[in-house]
Structure 1
């Protein structure tokens, strides 16, 4: 009995492997391929007939002579004006500005350098698992298909027509790509250490206020904050290609787990140093990172700090603004922090601008939605490494202050008061 169970288990494993590595085309996919082939045959036949037709009778010499006469008149009247050049064509009678551009090859719609760079990263990654999906694409086309889904707000149906693949197959290929990119997280979203951390530090004071480095005023390693990524609502499904901002529509009606909390820390260049993704009902604001920094003080160079908005924990490593009623000293401290907090706002705006699918993920499964968001964050850093930056518009939603105050500890309160005193004295002396 035990032997038969082992045989049955082994047989199922073999079938799963065969199904994952090779499957014939489904009827729907086969029908789509046939339709495409018929369209190509009809298009080729139509083009050949058009080429066989005699060109329209255009008296080119007459037109050129008229142009020469007109140009001579223009030269006599305007002096240095160059005579116009008449361009004639026999293939189309439409003016150039009305001509429809020919469709470009699929690989040309996304930057070739990015496709090659990401393809090489996946080929050289430790994960050797093959991409899933029937009728496998090349790795370059797999990268292109996945970047298309991430970068554009397109439905699977639209991408299916573009790549001539069944929707279910595209679904499998895309999430297989995301799983492979997720394995690159530790390599591309990493906390700087040693000399790399020292190079990442930047002044807490603004350049116009900074006369010389003062003892006690820390340098900033990064900016900590979060954003929320809407995923499929429990109350229904919305059109993924709609231009209506789902965020505004969902705020009052969505279940808490219809959001993903994306917590990020970035350096001054907008590169992500830390990424944590959780369900909307998980309201942790930097608590896990605070505890980790306390356990591993070597993560923060001496005399450095992170800055974060209100709602995050105030500690010796994380500085947050004052809340409630405060005087000019506290106001100046808050203003200084706010200038740095915009760094994260811009990084999040650039992330959303490049990967527009993050504006609304039509995915009801938490693990898969998380994989897509993490893929976008990893690729955000990859594109920065390539020198490719997309500037997005900062949304008001990103710059709002979280509800309430975060946790505070005595050491954090003391350090913040000391730093705010130093900053205000420096500012006051400089202004006088």
Structure 2
């Protein structure tokens, strides 16, 4: 390759970089921004004029009449004007409410902005050069938190749909780089501080502190529906996702498996995302803990839902119960499983797009789900907690996962220990069931 070919190759690389990192506004976007600027100026002038006039019995009609007298005002602004004018009587309350919303949103944007700027990757997010990092974050949070289409966001942020798509996935890639910092396995003092008891205080025997393990977290999974390459769906439709996917449900990869381990506060400690056809449920985590037992505080355990492997570190319920002790053990674990169910419900409630990802590419769908999980922990760090109603699961028969002898032995010992402590404070009924009575330890 001679010098001229090297020069041509270098020139192409520079042009590609400029196109990727610094794109000019297209003619359509420029015209859209100019129209919006003119409308905002007109609206601001008319609102100022209306405020200087004495109170009228029908402010909405007056305001709309003033706008109608302007030949350049479009129907969209007239509709906005009616909404704004109608809100004048409750101006103080509305302003206060909007102010609170802006405070929460701006706080989240600034917090995430600081995280991105302090991350290892200093590369600028892809997208329009004139779009600030704060607006990039706000745009991306809008797409994650609301079930809106790219077209709706295009009108809201005055950007072309193709560019919004590019900005959003660039944001997801950068947030994914924060996974190790935000979704991390606790060790040392941090792990000791999040441990919680397996048995509640009223069921704990006198020597439970020596014999019963403490719980590090609760392990389970949920499924995120995604679009296959078969066709597109309307992301804003109100039709339930399951009904909408009847044509795709036979294909396992119309779902993503989201495996999560969370502590008692609902914070994610472990996250694994795989295709729906992936049948590995907790095996990789079990093997990791077996190879690195130092990851578990001494005497601690993880509680996992049915179908997960039973091991020395992971305890699962009995699938087939043969006695009262096993039923009591299962009931105790069910009470802890609510922690994970609540965390998943909060995740879906905050990030509405997870209810159905209209994305046919697995890698991109995975990036969006991981972004939501990372931001879930970020919002918890900020103290912004969403308490959503836990949805009832479609319960199907799940068999036992893999079991090793050490796990079987440990579960049986704990089941007997729990039953003995419970039986000491209860009485047996004629039908063989157990009725608890008041007792003091």
**C-alpha deviations, 1:62-94, integer Å up to 9, x for none?**
xxxxxxxxxxxxxxxxxxxxxxxxxxxxx9899
Q: Which residue of 1 aligns with 2:11?
A: 11
Q: Which residue of 1 aligns with 2:63?
A: none
* Aligned pairs for 1:130-169 within 5 A: 130-169=124-163
User: Is the CA contact (8 Å cut-off) linking 2:204 and 2:418 kept in structure 1?
Assistant: no
C-alpha spacing 1:256/1:367, structure 2 compared with 1 (3 Å): same
C-alpha spacing 1:40/1:112, structure 2 compared with 1 (3 Å): closer
User: Is the CA contact (8 Å cut-off) linking 1:307 and 1:320 kept in structure 2?
Assistant: yes
C-alpha spacing 1:248/1:317, structure 2 compared with 1 (3 Å): farther
User: Is the CA contact (8 Å cut-off) linking 1:110 and 1:144 kept in structure 2?
Assistant: no
Q: Which residue of 2 aligns with 1:35?
A: 35
Q: Which residue of 2 aligns with 1:411?
A: 406
Q: Which residue of 1 aligns with 2:168?
A: 174
User: Is the CA contact (8 Å cut-off) linking 2:203 and 2:418 kept in structure 1?
Assistant: no
**C-alpha deviations, 1:3-38, integer Å up to 9, x for none?**
565444433321221112211112221231232134
Q: Distance in 1 between matches of 2:196 and 2:361?
A: 40
* Aligned pairs for 1:331-410 within 5 A: 331-397=327-393, 400=395, 403-410=398-405
Deviation at 1:207?
Answer: 2.7
* Aligned pairs for 1:43-192 within 5 A: 43-44=43-44, 46-47=46-47, 96=89, 108=102, 111-192=105-186
Indicate the larger mover: 136-145 or 123-132: 136-145
Q: Distance in 2 between matches of 1:183 and 1:41?
A: 41
Which SS does the other structure have where 2:259 is aligned? strand
Which SS does the other structure have where 1:275 is aligned? strand
Indicate the larger mover: 98-107 or 410-419: 98-107
C-alpha spacing 1:245/1:110, structure 2 compared with 1 (3 Å): farther
Q: Which residue of 2 aligns with 1:81?
A: none
Which SS does the other structure have where 2:272 is aligned? strand
Q: Distance in 2 between matches of 1:99 and 1:237?
A: 44
Deviation at 1:110?
Answer: 5.0
Q: Distance in 2 between matches of 1:213 and 1:183?
A: 45
Deviation at 1:99?
Answer: 11
C-alpha spacing 1:98/1:47, structure 2 compared with 1 (3 Å): closer
Deviation at 1:378?
Answer: 0.6
C-alpha spacing 1:39/1:145, structure 2 compared with 1 (3 Å): same
Q: Which residue of 1 aligns with 2:310?
A: 314
**C-alpha deviations, 1:312-371, integer Å up to 9, x for none?**
011111111111242101101111111111110000001111111111111111111111
Could you tell me which runs of 5 or more consecutive residues in structure 2 were left unpaired when the two chains were aligned.
58-83, 428-441
Q: Which residue of 2 aligns with 1:324?
A: 320
User: Is the CA contact (8 Å cut-off) linking 1:312 and 1:320 kept in structure 2?
Assistant: yes
User: Is the CA contact (8 Å cut-off) linking 2:194 and 2:216 kept in structure 1?
Assistant: yes
Indicate the larger mover: 20-29 or 381-390: 20-29
Which SS does the other structure have where 1:268 is aligned? coil
Which SS does the other structure have where 1:310 is aligned? coil
Task: Indicate whether 1:280 and 2:276 are aligned.
Answer: yes
TM-score normalised to structure 1 length: 0.85
C-alpha spacing 1:146/1:331, structure 2 compared with 1 (3 Å): same
Q: Distance in 1 between matches of 2:120 and 2:330?
A: 45
Q: Distance in 1 between matches of 2:416 and 2:168?
A: 53
Which SS does the other structure have where 1:111 is aligned? helix
Q: Which residue of 2 aligns with 1:240?
A: 235
Deviation at 1:191?
Answer: 0.5
Q: Distance in 1 between matches of 2:360 and 2:290?
A: 36
Q: Distance in 2 between matches of 1:335 and 1:271?
A: 23
Q: Distance in 2 between matches of 1:338 and 1:56?
A: 62
Q: Which residue of 2 aligns with 1:65?
A: none
Indicate the larger mover: 38-47 or 317-326: 38-47
Q: Distance in 1 between matches of 2:421 and 2:134?
A: 55
Deviation at 1:379?
Answer: 0.8
Matching residue within 242, 250, 253 for 2:248: 253
CA root-mean-square deviation: 2.9
User: Is the CA contact (8 Å cut-off) linking 2:305 and 2:337 kept in structure 1?
Assistant: yes
Deviation at 1:216?
Answer: 2.9
Could you tell me which runs of 5 or more consecutive residues in structure 1 were left unpaired when the two chains were aligned.
58-90
Deviation at 1:401?
Answer: 5.5
**C-alpha deviations, 1:110-133, integer Å up to 9, x for none?**
522211111111111111010111
C-alpha spacing 1:193/1:99, structure 2 compared with 1 (3 Å): closer
